[in-house]
């Protein structure tokens, strides 16, 4: 009986996730001013000089300058296409693995409300890089194609190095059919690009120049100076920005609960997400028990590795927890779904395997990895996408969103 109820709730969650993503794109389309964070993230260009994240914006600027193509419809089509492509890839890969699709609509995967941002497109590019590495036969192609994809990805968002490069680099280093010099180039080229992009992080003057370059093509509401948005952010002080992120992540408190600080809440959320990722392939899987257990172990190791690589973003490089969590979970799923289990074995050092397996074993003693336990966790798991707000966090969970929906309907009667 509970399984039928859970299935209905997961269908509801899938509908709500599509609704949220659709509303995010619709809001993006209706905001003709193009001054919000999502739009301005795409509009960063090279008109003030070479700067991080400027490649897409420069293409859009040249299309507008020479061909008169409005960037807004292009961005809406791009956002919808990336979401649909990633959803199709995930569903097909889940079915090949024999995994139930319940996890995909959750807020920790594809259920967040940032479909208009670059993030889903970044995961699609990661998918392409991993697929190319695994399926191309010639050694030079196995290195060159993924590296070119990663270099483009870094120019879309430099922080992608943290979730896209380390595990792929580790696989390259373990590959026997690739020469040492080719490995060195494949591993170091993305790092070199990352360093260059960090050196050209941007200044206030660059932000103003980028803002002014778009002014002739956008509505009068564009204004004279950059607002508090993605264009203005490239001119922020690195030190002040890091301190701000650290504060909002771990030292601010829920307005309704002043004693409940971020450092008390977020580590618990991280552990629960890790537990769910590590045990989901073991529980919601139609395969023999031995294969499920081996895949669960691999997923736990991948998830912990990706989390550790993303620690800078979980601490000082971002306070968009919703987006960073999805970088973590979706990138972990990409490697888990694409890389054969036998290739994952022996990839990580033994001490790391013991640490990941031990962490999951400890959590499994408290929360038994059974369908009912994981199903209950999937219904209530939630977090605040930005800063700390308990109301928003609860409303993003399956049961929380259903509660607020029914409450609103009853109050409207």
Mapped to the 3 state alphabet, what secondary structure does the chain carry?
A: CHHHHHHHHHHHHHHHHHHHHHHHHHHHHHCCCCCCHHHHHHHCCCECECCCCCHHHHHHHHHHHHHCCCHHHHHHHHHHHHHHHHHHHHHHHHHHHCECHHHCCCCCCCCCCCCCCCHHHHHHHHHHHHHHHHHCCCHHHHHHHHHHHHHHHHHHCHHHHHHHHHHHHHHHHHCCCCCHHHHHHHHHHHHHHHHHHHHCCCCHHHHHHHHHHHHHHCCHHHCCCCCCCHHHHCCCCHHHHHHHHHHHHHHCEECCEEEEEHHHHHHHHHHHHHHHHHHHHHHCECCCHHHHHHHHHHHHHHHHHHHHHCHHHHHCCCCEHHHHHHHHHHHHHHHHHHCCHHHHCCCCCHHHHHHHHHHHHHHHHHCCCCHHHHHHHHHHCCCCCECCCHHHHHHHCHHHHHHHHHHHHHHHC
In this predicted structure, what is the pLDDT of residue 42? 94
Q: What is the pTM of this model?
A: 0.94
pLDDT at 227: 74
183 and 243 co-located in one domain: no
The answer to whether residues 155 and 267 belong to one domain is no
Q: Are residues 216 and 277 in the same domain?
A: no
Domain range spanning residue 49? 1-117+200-235
- Give the pLDDT band of residue 165 (cuts 50, 70, 90): very high
Residue 40 shares a structural domain with residue 163 = no
Mean per-residue pLDDT over the chain, rounded: 89
Whether residue 304 sits in one domain with residue 212: no
Picking from 179, 199, 219, the residue at the C-terminal end of a domain is 199
Does 192 lie in the same domain as 340?
A: no
Question: Do 271 and 377 reside in the same domain of the chain?
Answer: yes
Whether residues 248 and 393 fall in one domain: yes
Judgement on whether residues 112 and 222 belong to the same structural domain of the protein: yes
Q: Are residues 109 and 147 in the same domain?
A: no
Domain final position from 147, 181, 199: 199
Q: What pLDDT sits at residue 220? A: 73
pLDDT tens digits for 248-265? 888 887 766 777 788 888
Pair (284, 398) in one structural domain: yes
pLDDT band at 148; cut points 50, 70, 90: very high
Domain tally, the chain: 3
Residue 292 has pLDDT above 90, yes or no: no
Q: What pLDDT score was predicted for residue 282?
A: 86
pLDDT value, residue 289:
60
- For residue range 211-243, list pLDDT tens digits in order: 999 999 887 778 777 777 899 999 898 899 999
Is the domain of 244 the same as that of 330? yes
Mean pLDDT to the nearest integer, 339-350? 88
Identify the pLDDT of residue 413. 66
Domain termination site, one of 149, 181, 199: 199
């Amino acid at each position: 009986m509970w399984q039928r109820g859970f299935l209905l709730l997961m269908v509801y969650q899938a509908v709500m996730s599509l609704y949220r993503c659709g509303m995010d794109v619709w809001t993006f389309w209706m905001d003709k001013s193009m001054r919000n964070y999502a739009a301005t993230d795409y509009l960063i260009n090279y008109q003030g000089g070479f700067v991080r994240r400027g490649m897409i914006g420069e293409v859009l600027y040249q299309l507008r300058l020479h061909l008169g193509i409005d960037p807004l419809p292009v961005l809406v089509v791009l956002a919808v296409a990336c979401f649909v492509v990633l959803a199709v890839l995930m569903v097909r890969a889940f079915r090949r693995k024999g995994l139930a699709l319940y996890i995909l609509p959750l807020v920790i995967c594809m259920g967040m409300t940032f479909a208009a941002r670059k993030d889903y497109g970044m995961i699609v590019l990661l998918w392409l890089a991993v697929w190319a590495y695994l399926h191309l036969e010639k050694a030079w192609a196995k290195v060159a194609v993924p590296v070119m994809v990663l270099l483009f990805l870094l120019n879309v968002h430099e922080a992608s190095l943290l979730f896209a490069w380390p595990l792929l680099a580790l696989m390259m280093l373990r590959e026997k059919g690739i020469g040492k010099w080719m490995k060195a180039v494949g591993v170091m080229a993305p790092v070199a690009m990352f360093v260059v992009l960090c050196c050209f992080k941007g200044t206030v003057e660059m932000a103003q120049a980028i803002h002014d370059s778009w002014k002739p093509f956008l509505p009068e509401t564009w204004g004279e100076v950059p607002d508090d948005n993605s264009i203005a952010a490239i001119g922020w002080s690195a030190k002040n920005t890091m301190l701000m992120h650290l504060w909002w992540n771990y030292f601010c408190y829920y307005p309704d609960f002043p004693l409940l600080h971020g450092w008390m809440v977020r580590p618990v959320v991280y552990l629960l997400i890790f537990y769910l990722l590590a045990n989901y392939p073991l529980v919601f899987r139609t395969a023999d028990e031995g294969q499920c257990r081996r895949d669960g172990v691999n997923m736990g190791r991948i998830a912990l590795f990706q989390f550790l690589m993303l620690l800078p973003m979980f601490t000082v490089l971002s306070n968009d927890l919703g987006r960073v969590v999805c970088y973590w979970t979706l990138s972990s799923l990409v490697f888990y779904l694409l890389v054969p289990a036998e290739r994952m074995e022996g990839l990580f050092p033994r001490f790391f395997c013991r640490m990941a397996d031990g962490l999951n074993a400890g959590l499994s003693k408290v929360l038994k990895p059974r369908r009912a336990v994981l199903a209950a966790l999937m219904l209530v798991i939630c977090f605040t996408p930005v800063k700390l707000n308990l109301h928003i966090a609860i409303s993003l969970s399956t049961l929380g969103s259903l509660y607020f929906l029914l409450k609103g309907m009853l109050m409207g009667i």
